[in-house]
Amino acid sequence: MATKSFLTSFLLFSLSPLTGRYAMVVCGDIAVYATGNARSTGGAGAVAMLVGPNSPLVLERGLRGTHMENVYDFYKPDLASEYPVVDGKLSIQCYLRALDRCYAFYRKKIQNQWKQAGIERQFTLDDFQFMIFHTPFCKLVQKSVARLVFNDFLSAKTDEQNNRYKGLEAFRDLKLEDTYFNKEVEKAFQKASLDVFNQKTKSSLNLSTLNGNMYTSSLYGCLASLLSQHTPQQLAGARIGAFSYGSGLAASLFSIRVSQDASPGSPLDKLVSSVSDLPKRLASRKRMSPEEFSEVMSQREKYSHEVNFSPPGDTNSLFPGTWYLERVDELYRRKYARRPL
């Protein structure tokens, strides 16, 4: 939904002179899991984005690669529980397949645009200065970068395969759809793509590493993370590839072009400044033991459908200005209060 709102807002502004207007896209989620392996990947977060004219980040038009399937990879069927049902293996396969398909569509579209401009060549990851991903857990993103390099490798000409992808020739005849769980491919291409990962993607994972999964806002959290880890000069003119994924599933790969102007006071400079305090804000969080977290989760389970109650918990520990649930009355009506700023 975040990506849908984001893309629709961009589309509206690119099509029409909606003078003086802005759209605001707010995406947020709480990723919690039942006790077990997945619980430690959870997290929570929200991202708010202003979409409008003169933006230092511009969606590139006509280049969206989209793939959808009706699949039960991750879903919340038990409405009495906050926890999802996850088919972990299927979910990873779905994610990687969607990535393959979206990348193929994206490349086809950009190569067509280039062709019309008289340029006849293959699109590769080299053409993205940065690449951000929906991030259920960071390891999957590293695998995804490897996967895209594997895609590039399979579409490369034989001589290029021999020169540029030295030592990978053995994988030449494999098919994408047969290799979702091929450990050799994974290992070889993770190694071959390590520099690419470090240069183009790693900085976007800083937030996910420290904060866990954010579901809906995941990709846009990665964008904020990327911006917070670079200077305007490092970002200026870059094309950022972005892969959005929602279970169920709907996925899109699109690209964002960063403006050239990185001078002090430029829109890009202001945007980068606005997220520069991200590491500091993350560092200001309160550390809690897994036991305390489990206790909070048990309370959450217990109270999630309660009426006529006020949630327990010390509101003094909340950041200044935080809105919190004060009371749920007998008709489930929720009343919120705010910590003083």
CB nearer a second copy, residue 287 or residue 333:
333
Between strands 74-75 and 130-133, the pairing is unpaired
Using CB under 8 A as the binding rule, whether residue 87 contacts a second copy is answered as: yes
Per-residue binding string, a second copy, 1-30, x by CB under 8 A, is -------x--xx--xx--------------
Pull the structure tokens for residue 211: 């904060």
Q: Which candidate in 67, 134, 230, 305 is catalytic?
A: 134
Which 56-85 positions form the footprint of a second copy (CB under 8 A)?
72, 75, 77-80, 85
Using CB under 8 A as the binding rule, whether residue 301 contacts a second copy is answered as: no
Backbone angles phi, psi at 40, to 5 degrees: -70, -15
d(CA 224, CA 239): 15
CB nearer a second copy, residue 319 or residue 332:
332
Pull the structure tokens for residue 311: 């949630």
Which 304-323 positions form the footprint of a second copy (CB under 8 A)?
305
On the 0-12 / 13-18 / 19+ scale of CB atoms within 10 A, 220 is buried
Which 320-339 positions form the footprint of a second copy (CB under 8 A)?
331-333
Closest approach of a second copy to the CB of residue 72, in Å: 5
CB nearer a second copy, residue 82 or residue 186:
82
Closest approach of a second copy to the CB of residue 319, in Å: 23
To the question of whether residue 54 is assigned a binding role by annotation, the answer is no
Quick check: is 305 catalytic? no
d(CA 170, CA 332): 62
Q: What single-letter amino acid sits at 171?
A: F
Pull the structure tokens for residue 219: 């990709």
CB of 147 closer than 8 Å to CB of 196 = no
The contacts of residue 123 (CB under 8 Å, 6+ apart) are 106, 107, 110, 111, 114
Q: Interface with a second copy by CB under 8 A: which residues?
A: 8, 11-12, 15-16, 72, 75, 77-80, 85, 87, 305, 331-333
- Known binding residues for CoA are 37, 91, 139, 143
